[in-house]
Structure 1
Amino acid sequence: MAKYEKTISGKFEEVLHHLENDIDSSGITMNLVDESNYTYGDTSIAVRVYDKYFMRNGSRASLSLTIVGKGSGVFISAIGAGGGKGIVFNFSLGAEDDMVAVVERSVEALE
């Protein structure tokens, strides 16, 4: 499992669209599985779940992205999972790290 979290200043919708574009363009096998959007008062929440096939090891990995915005504060959480091999022992081959790194680079480009 890999994880990246950061709070930045910005507009929720702009941050969301920037991240979506960068994730979508990060690889031909990147796939948006599902999404959820919720607004409560002045707080907006977006959840995105992606998966990606990695040919180098024949596995799939998932990326769960949560973005919470209130005012000019935007919290971003990216959690990558899967991408390993093995039935009893899950040997990670780094696929989840690669997916989370896409989000980290995208956030750094916003700052």
Structure 2
Amino acid sequence: MAKYECHLTGDFDHVLDYLDTGILQGSDSASYEDGSDYAQGDFRCAVRVYERYSFSGGNRVSLNLTLVGRGEALFLSAITSGGSQAMFFKINTWGEEAFLDRLRELVESL
């Protein structure tokens, strides 16, 4: 499991759409699995789950993205999982790191 978190400033919808598009276009096997949206007043929360096949690991990995915001103050938390082929401990987590690296690149280019 790998995790990436950061504070951002910007339009909630723009950031969410940008990340969604970038994640799905970042891999031929990437897919949107499900999501949830919540809003109360000026507070918003979006949860997205993506999955892709990891050629290096020979398995599927997931990326769970949570974006929360109040106005233009945003916080992003992303956690990957899957990708390990061992029964009792994690080995071969390259696919998780690669999925998260794609998200980091997108965030840094905002």
For normalisation by structure 1, the TM-score amounts to 0.93
**Which ranges in structure 2 are unaligned for 5 or more consecutive residues?**
none
Q: Give the partner amino acid of 1:72.
A: E
- Distance in 2, Cα, partners of 1:74 & 1:3: 17
Q: Deviations over 1:46-88 (max 9, x none)?
A: 1000111112332111100000010110111110111111223
Q: CA deviation at 1:101?
A: 1.1
Q: Is residue 55–residue 95 contact of structure 2 (8 Å, CA) maintained in 1?
A: no
Aligned to 2:83: 83
Higher strand share: 1
Q: Is the 8 A contact 1:82 1:92 kept in 2?
A: no
Aligned partner of 2:80: which letter? Answer: G
| RMSD across aligned positions (CA) | 1.0
Report SS of the residue matched to 1:28. coil
CA distance in 2, matches of 1:105, 1:57: 21
Separation in 1, partners of 2:100, 2:93:
14
The answer as to whether partners of 2:45 and 2:67 remain within 8 angstroms in 1 is yes
Distance across 1 between alignment mates of 2:45 and 2:65: 10
Aligned residues: 110
Structure 1 gap segments, 5+ residues each: none
**Percent identity, aligned pairs only?**
38
The answer on whether the counterparts of 2:53 and 2:59 sit within 8 Å (CA) in structure 1 is yes
SS at match of 1:88: coil
Partners of 1:74 and 1:84 in 2: CA distance: 31
TM-score of the superposition, structure 2-length normalised?
0.94
